[in-house]
Amino acid sequence: MPDLIVLNLSMPVVHGLETIREIAKSAPGVKILVFSKDEADELRREALRRGAHGYVNKSRPITDLIDEVERLLT
C-alpha cells in the first residue's frame, strides 16, 4: 500500500473526485494529494471533503508540491 497518492482531477475514465472517494473508502490510511490545474475553490473544497489531504495548483512553483508532499509524509 502506498503512503501517498498524487492525483490529478482531470482523468480520462473516472473524474478525480470520484477516485478520491474510492481511495478514501478502500485505503483509509493512504494520504491523497491533488495536483490540478483547476483553481476553483469549490473543487478544492469538494476534493478535501471527499477525503483528499491536500491540494496544490499546477500553476504554483514546484516547491509548493514538494513542501506539501513533505508535510503529508511527516
Q: Where are the domains of the chain?
A: 4-73
Q: What is the pLDDT of residues 47-71, one digit of tens each?
A: 999 999 999 999 999 999 999 999 9
| 8 Å CB contact between 9 and 15 | yes
Quote the pTM value: 0.91
Structure confidence at residue 28 (pLDDT) = 93
Q: What is the pLDDT of residues 30-48, one digit of tens each?
A: 999 999 998 889 999 999 9
4-73: CATH topology: Rossmann fold (3.40.50)
Structure confidence at residue 10 (pLDDT) = 87
Q: What is the 3-state secondary structure (H, E, C) of the chain?
A: CCCEEEECCCCCCCCHHHHHHHHHHHCCCCEEEEEECCCCHHHHHHHHHHCCCEEEECCCCHHHHHHHHHHHHC
